[in-house]
Structure 1
Amino acid sequence: MFLPTPPSYRHLMAASAIIVGAALPARAELFDNLEFSGIFETHTALAFKGTELQTSQFSLTPELSFDISPTMRFTLIGRLRGDLKDRLEPGAPSNFSRTTFNDRLFLGDQLDAEIREAYIDTEIGSSYLRLGKQQIVWGQADGLKVLDILNPQSFREFILPEFEDSRIPLWSVNAEIPIGELTLQLVWIPDTTYDDIPDQGSTFAFTSPLMVPQAPVGVPITFARTNKPSKVISDSDVGVKLSAFLDGWDLSLNYAYHYFDRPVVRRFITGEGVAIHQDYMRSHLIGGTFSNVFGDFTLRGELGYATNRYFQTDDIGDLDGVVRSNDFSYVLGLDYSGITDWFLSAQVFQSFLSNHEPDMIRGSVDTSITFLARRNFMNEALTAEALLIQSLSDGDGLLQLAVTYEWKSNVRLKAGADIFYGKKRGLFGQFREADRLTAGIEVAF
């Protein structure tokens, strides 16, 4: 079921899904068990610096679902996306980080199509099973991730889009099995697709020394081919989650054996300059989540311990420019909804390294806080939201402002701003020249 599809057929399937979806009538129910819906959305971003358009794009996301049998349902979600400016991914990206059966079809430099999700839901006794291309979400933190590592992420627009839109769905087997008061989730992911990282020259290309090695000015740099896992069985990711609801607490215990989705970037000094090598490394992740409601407050959190993480150094004499360490991280959040039409949320995120050396660019402890404020107006037709992510360790951060107006039941108007600040060496400060105003329209059918 999960064997690679030859490229010619794969591309035909992706294009056909989009074309067939676009041709069907709006909100069609052709048969009792067949439903069609979708979203058409525009997204325009005007850069603060130079007042140039950063992106002017549209996306069409059709969804088709139907019953195969009384206990089995199939869902197909496609996406056709175009960008008139072509600055987020200049040219046609190589898609090297994706597997053959999970890549995108590029129709020129400004248009791409893909099957976002394609899965079968079924039941076997009291157990639930989903087979196919899907998103599997662990954790519920805003803006920052601890346990949500099963699906890779597209950094086409850094972390600005919603996680649901930036996650890369994977061909997976996802089973949920009730065991008394507990639920056991078993996940197998044979799809060796990893993060989409923008190439140099893209608007959101990584430049921070926290993420990419630095070389002295004028020193030649050569790039070796990335060593990417490709074996369906031996390079698979697996995950196990045990969840329960006990005395008002939602609890889970999570474990994953997976490849970290961003490659380790190693820097080697040679007689001809600097050579860059990249490879993906295995990691064990063990952690858990908890949440409970206390009146108008919700307390929630997640924690994880990850092995074999790699961090950049600024020592040119270092052998490969990275240090291996285990990483313990947690996020603690408090939500408040006790004021009419308001929702407030605050989070503390911390990461601790088990092995820290003086020449490492990142500190042994990394601390960030987030604050989210949302206010509804006009009987919830108008929503205003502000999300602040502040790094206390590096002094940089991100402020996202958004206003959404429900003009009709199926039409929403959007406007907002994304503002980066801080030193360029920081995770957020590296994009301080990419500040922008945004506007768009979303039409559901």
Structure 2
Amino acid sequence: MITNRYLPTTVLLGTLLLLPAMQSAVAEESAEIDAVMEGFDDEAGTVDNVLDGFDEDAEGSNDLNGVLDGFGNDDSAAGGNTARSAAPPVKPKRLQLSGAAVLGTAYNFAHDEPQAGEPDYHGFSRLRAKLGLGLKIRIAKGWMGVIKGHAFHDFIYEINGRDDYSDEVLEHYESEAEFDEVFLRGKLTPNFDIKLGRQIVVWGKSDNLRVTDLLNPMDQRQMGQTDIEYLRLPVNMTRLDYYLGSWNLSGYLLHESRMDKRPTVGSDYYPFPMPMPQEDVPDNNGADEYAVALNGNFSGWDLSLYGAHLYRDQPHTEMVPAVGMRLRHAETDMVGGAINIALGNWLLKGEAAHFDGMRYSSLPGEDKRRSDLLLGVEYSGFQDTSLSLELVDRYSHDYDPLMAGDGIKENMYETAVRYTGNFMHDTLEVTLLGTAFGEAGDGGGFTRLSAKYDLRDALELTVGVINYYEGESIPFNAIADNDRLFAQLKQSF
């Protein structure tokens, strides 16, 4: 196990400097393709990636691409006089079914041998089979429905012995079956859309760190093993969209208060020495959480402004009269914005958010304010290569030293560095991601290296390694020995 907390970051930065040169030496010249993608959903990651990330140990690919195409606005047409040469339009199918079957495994190489009666997280810790299905229904002109769901079973618990695991671990990690996105979307007028049901809404511009992307909770059960875009959990809501020129105004009314899926007692990612108090999840009656977004898309840049009233995903402990200590979720107000600016091969990113109503276990009954700022840059000037850097500062106003009991500092820094490269005629994709928490990485972090190879059409193999390094912040002060190799075989259909 790596004990030097700065070594993973040093290795990551050194490797990032070498990879573009290595890639240029083996890559062949390829023509640059300008892709024009038109779809019914205006937000990336909401419809087309539903079946991605079936195994949290590896990054997924877009299983519903193509399947969900052709459900855009029926009255849209290409410009210019192309009637004589264009082929007759193909009428989209009324029903389209797609899915993926995944077999994934993981090998923990840093855990010690377990003591008698303790969970066995040494060696092989996963043998999970997972199936995901998505059905798209064309109802009428301008109207569509989507039903998506997944189920998995992890055989490693039977192999290692179920009696050595807590009931909570078996309940949350051994098997799962649930509906994911289930919604109806349609046009009320040429400029006015409605979307009803369980859905995912992506706010912000960052790919690796969250500042304004708050409407959907996350699956945090195994930190760092999958990208954010595959971890969002759908929420039941009503969404209204109004389009006017380059602007889009969206309103959201959330009918479900769904919180993050967090590591449970007894899992190798649970960071506390004892069970937490019972959690009180808010009973949302359909008016407790709401949000609004204004998005503008222009030549070379885009801008988004946000406002929301939401329950905070991160709970705090609170003494409830006649009940005892409970985990509670504070009601918070957020205002913020995000911007992208394209300058040649460079993409500049920015996000900012201000929160009122933050509560902490160490300050019962007190509301606090916090301001988050993200700055990022992405470079794509190397052939088949993308490099990005993102920095976040979370500043707590009116800081009280007692907040240190919640692991809170006046300034909380986060850093993410990412490399993505494509080789062998785009059949091999290599990704290297490193994150660090704290001003000098003293809060801990992780590095993840993965390679995804297309064995043949619709069949891909992903292998990789993730290394955690210890820090003073939760959860890295407790999960530094969770380093592991992972692999998955994925068949899409």
- What residue in structure 1 maps to residue 186 of structure 2? 122
Please identify which structure carries the higher strand content.
1
Matched-pair contact (CA < 8 Å) for 2:300–2:342: yes
- Choose which of 107, 120, 130 in structure 2 pairs with 1:46: 107
- Kindly report which structure 2 residues correspond to 1:375-390, keeping only aligned pairs within 5 A, or say none: 375-390=421-436
Matched-pair contact (CA < 8 Å) for 1:155–1:204: no
Runs of 4+ in 1 over 6 A off after TM superposition: none
Residues 354-409 of structure 1: per-residue CA shift (max 9 Å, x gap): 02112332210111211101121101111111101012333411101111101112
Displacement of 1:42: 1.9
Displacement of 1:247: 5.4
Residues 237-272 of structure 1: per-residue CA shift (max 9 Å, x gap): 11100111245320011001111122212479xxxx
Secondary structure of 2:401's aligned partner: coil
- What residue in structure 2 maps to residue 261 of structure 1? 313
Structure 1 residues without counterparts, runs of 5 or longer: 1-26, 96-105, 208-213, 215-220, 269-274, 314-318
- Choose which of 349, 363, 366 in structure 1 pairs with 2:392: 349
Distance 1:311 1:419, change over 3 A: farther
* Distance in 2 of aligned mates of 1:323 and 1:287: 23
Secondary structure of 2:402's aligned partner: coil
Secondary structure of 2:230's aligned partner: helix
* Distance in 2 of aligned mates of 1:309 and 1:190: 22
- Kindly report which structure 2 residues correspond to 1:5-24, keeping only aligned pairs within 5 A, or say none: none
Secondary structure of 1:153's aligned partner: coil
- Choose which of 285, 296, 300 in structure 1 pairs with 2:345: 296
* Distance in 2 of aligned mates of 1:228 and 1:44: 33
- Choose which of 211, 218, 243 in structure 2 pairs with 1:153: 218
Distance 1:330 1:427, change over 3 A: farther
Displacement of 1:152: 0.9
* Distance in 2 of aligned mates of 1:334 and 1:194: 30
* Distance in 2 of aligned mates of 1:163 and 1:128: 27
Matched-pair contact (CA < 8 Å) for 1:91–1:109: no
- What residue in structure 2 maps to residue 62 of structure 1? 133
Matched-pair contact (CA < 8 Å) for 2:194–2:241: yes
Q: Please, what is the CA RMSD of the aligned residues?
A: 3.0
- What residue in structure 1 maps to residue 335 of structure 2? 286
- Kindly report which structure 2 residues correspond to 1:8-407, keeping only aligned pairs within 5 A, or say none: 32-48=93-109, 49-50=111-112, 51-86=122-157, 93=168, 110-125=174-189, 126-207=191-272, 225-235=278-288, 237-246=289-298, 248-266=300-318, 276-311=325-360, 313=362, 320=364, 324-361=367-404, 362-393=408-439, 394-407=442-455
Matched-pair contact (CA < 8 Å) for 1:424–1:431: no
Residues 155-189 of structure 1: per-residue CA shift (max 9 Å, x gap): 12124223233211011112211134321011111
Secondary structure of 2:93's aligned partner: coil
Amino acid corresponding to residue 111 of structure 1 in structure 2: S
Structure 2 residues without counterparts, runs of 5 or longer: 1-66, 69-91, 113-121
* Distance in 2 of aligned mates of 1:94 and 1:231: 27
Matched-pair contact (CA < 8 Å) for 1:73–1:122: yes
Amino acid corresponding to residue 388 of structure 1 in structure 2: G
Displacement of 1:438: 0.5
* Distance in 2 of aligned mates of 1:45 and 1:121: 39
Higher relative contact order by CA 8 Å / sep ≥ 6: 1 or 2? 2
* Distance in 1 of aligned mates of 2:457 and 2:99: 14
* Distance in 2 of aligned mates of 1:299 and 1:90: 46
Matched-pair contact (CA < 8 Å) for 1:349–1:368: yes
Secondary structure of 1:360's aligned partner: helix
Matched-pair contact (CA < 8 Å) for 2:221–2:264: no
Q: Please, what TM-score do these two structures have when normalized by structure 2?
A: 0.72
Amino acid corresponding to residue 304 of structure 2 in structure 1: S
* Distance in 1 of aligned mates of 2:378 and 2:221: 30
* Distance in 2 of aligned mates of 1:181 and 1:129: 19
Matched-pair contact (CA < 8 Å) for 2:103–2:129: yes
Identity of aligned residues (%): 23
Secondary structure of 1:164's aligned partner: helix
Secondary structure of 2:478's aligned partner: helix
* Distance in 1 of aligned mates of 2:319 and 2:389: 38
Q: Which deviates the most, 172-181 or 369-378?
A: 172-181
- Count of residue pairs brought into register by the alignment: 383
Displacement of 1:223: 6.3
Distance 1:93 1:135, change over 3 A: farther
* Distance in 2 of aligned mates of 1:261 and 1:223: 15
Q: Please, what TM-score do these two structures have when normalized by structure 1?
A: 0.79
Residues 191-217 of structure 1: per-residue CA shift (max 9 Å, x gap): 12211222221121133xxxxxx8xxx
* Distance in 2 of aligned mates of 1:246 and 1:410: 36
Displacement of 1:307: 1.3
Matched-pair contact (CA < 8 Å) for 1:398–1:421: yes
* Distance in 2 of aligned mates of 1:206 and 1:429: 8
Displacement of 1:32: 2.9
Matched-pair contact (CA < 8 Å) for 2:443–2:476: no
Matched-pair contact (CA < 8 Å) for 2:205–2:339: no
Amino acid corresponding to residue 401 of structure 1 in structure 2: L
- What residue in structure 2 maps to residue 18 of structure 1? none
